[in-house]
Amino acid sequence: MGWSVSDIPDQTGRTVVVTGANSGLGAETAKALAGAGAQVILACRNTEKADRVATEIGAAATVAHLDLAHLDSVRAFADEFTGADVLINNAGVMAIPLRRTAQGFEMQIGTNHLGHFALTALVLPKITERVVTLSSMMHQIGRIDLGDLNWEKRRYSRWRAYGDSKMANLMFGKELAARLSAAGSSKVSLIAHPGYAATGLQGHSESFEDVFMNLVNKTPIPQSAAGGALPTLYAATSPDITTGTFYGPTEFFGSRGAPGRSGYSKRADDLALREGLWTVSEKLTGITFDI
């Protein structure tokens, strides 16, 4: 059967931050962690939806406002944040039309990568154990363009932009792991992906693709959001993890099943590109890491 929610070690006494925990993978992740004894902080833009999830969880859950598309909100969250054992960078948007964040970043790279990059930099001193960043199988189509990260020169492609943001998540998680290790830190950085899970992430492209994806989500092809959350939960709780490792489903070409080590595009191991992405991300956000 493989690793499941029942295998989550006792989380009593631990606190975990989950971004985007108001629905989908994030909500399932928070519920499972609380079920294992953790205190969970639901860091969400839509606090009304997050409140409903928190009510379902009970006393173990608290809600905090966090809009990753606005760096002022990221800073405000970090200022109020008192600390946690684990940070799970889960929130994201997928294949949306061209839009921009409050700071003018392309919305997908801005929310999925730059927002989480800034958040992690600001709260890392208050995280005691590990950071888990969510990527996607779609990182395979990502081709990071350091000279045009925000799609100001290229003709916009919503799926390519999504792939870029997910490649950025993978590269960030790996580079953070390398830098923490080089600094002699006991903190670890892991990356996870959900395979193909039916969540509210699909259906926001505002194109004919929404109809197709919503139909597919009603078939047995995708796994549930709870199933898609398993790699994240493994990365966040297992004592057997290795820093810098990418975890995902292990069946049906990585689209579903129990979590384990996941294959990935070796472009994520391009050290010059990873370091370049880190430098550009610090420049764009104006926020640097103290590692």
CATH number at 183 reads 3.40.50.720
In a domain, 70, yes or no: yes
34, two tokens? 């609380």
pLDDT at 12 over 70: yes
List pLDDT tens digits, range 81-134.
Answer: 999 999 999 999 999 999 999 999 999 999 999 999 999 999 999 999 999 999
In a domain, 179, yes or no: yes
In a domain, 101, yes or no: yes
Task: Please tell me the distance from the alpha carbon of residue 172 to that of residue 280, in angstroms, as a whole number.
Answer: 12
pTM of the model: 0.92
The tally of domains found in the chain comes to 1
In a domain, 122, yes or no: yes
CB 146 within 8 A of CB 273: yes
In a domain, 206, yes or no: yes
In a domain, 137, yes or no: yes
In a domain, 158, yes or no: yes
For residue 221, name the pLDDT band (cuts at 50, 70, 90). low
Could you tell me the residue range of the domain that residue 245 belongs to? Answer: 5-285
Which of 156, 162, 234, 264 is catalytic? The answer is 162
In a domain, 291, yes or no: no
> Amino acid identity, residue 92?
G
Would residue 247 show up in a list of annotated catalytic residues for this protein?
Answer: no
Could you identify the residue written with the tokens 């905090």? 64
